[in-house]
């Protein structure tokens, strides 16, 4: 079991069992976790699946590709620890990952 925790803007935690091979975005959407719009469905086109991840977990993740990083760097949201959850693949090492979701993706 790979447990991921999504903490929404109200502070409520949503814990899901994620499948390896899914993205973190899909893990949220398929488990009905609020706070992730994912308008483009994971095509790295819309930046509406933003999550914030603390430094400790950031260090354990595959770093963002140049395409993801550029999208993040030039979006309006400049909160530290920002990632696009559609670009983070679920692996066993992610068990216990905690991410925060923004108040709005738009």
Residues that bind another protein (CB under 8 A): 26, 29-32, 34, 37, 39-47, 67, 70-71, 73-76, 106
The 10 Å Cβ neighbour count of residue 98 is: 17
1-16 burial, b at 16+ Cβ within 10 Å, e below that, comes to: ebebebbbeeeeebeb
Strands 13-18 and 2-7, sheet pairing:
antiparallel
Distance CA 15, CA 53 (A): 15
Q: Is the CB of 54 or the CB of 79 nearer to another protein?
A: 79
User: Nearest distance from residue 56's CB to another protein, in Å?
Assistant: 27
User: Nearest distance from residue 95's CB to another protein, in Å?
Assistant: 21
Q: Is the CB of 39 or the CB of 93 nearer to another protein?
A: 39
Q: Is the CB of 54 or the CB of 65 nearer to another protein?
A: 65
User: Nearest distance from residue 26's CB to another protein, in Å?
Assistant: 7
Distance CA 26, CA 105 (A): 16
User: Nearest distance from residue 33's CB to another protein, in Å?
Assistant: 10
Distance CA 1, CA 72 (A): 30
Q: Is the CB of 56 or the CB of 76 nearer to another protein?
A: 76
């Amino acid at each position: 079991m790979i447990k991921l925790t999504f903490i929404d803007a109200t502070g409520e935690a949503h814990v899901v069992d994620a499948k390896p091979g899914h993205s973190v975005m899909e893990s949220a959407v398929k488990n009905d976790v609020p706070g992730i719009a994912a308008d483009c469905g994971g095509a790295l086109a819309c930046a509406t699946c933003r999550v914030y991840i603390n430094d400790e977990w950031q260090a354990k993740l595959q770093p963002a590709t140049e395409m993801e990083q550029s999208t993040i760097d030039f979006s309006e949201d400049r909160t530290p620890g920002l990632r696009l959850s559609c670009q983070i693949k679920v692996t066993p090492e992610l068990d216990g990952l905690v991410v925060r979701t923004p108040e709005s993706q738009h």
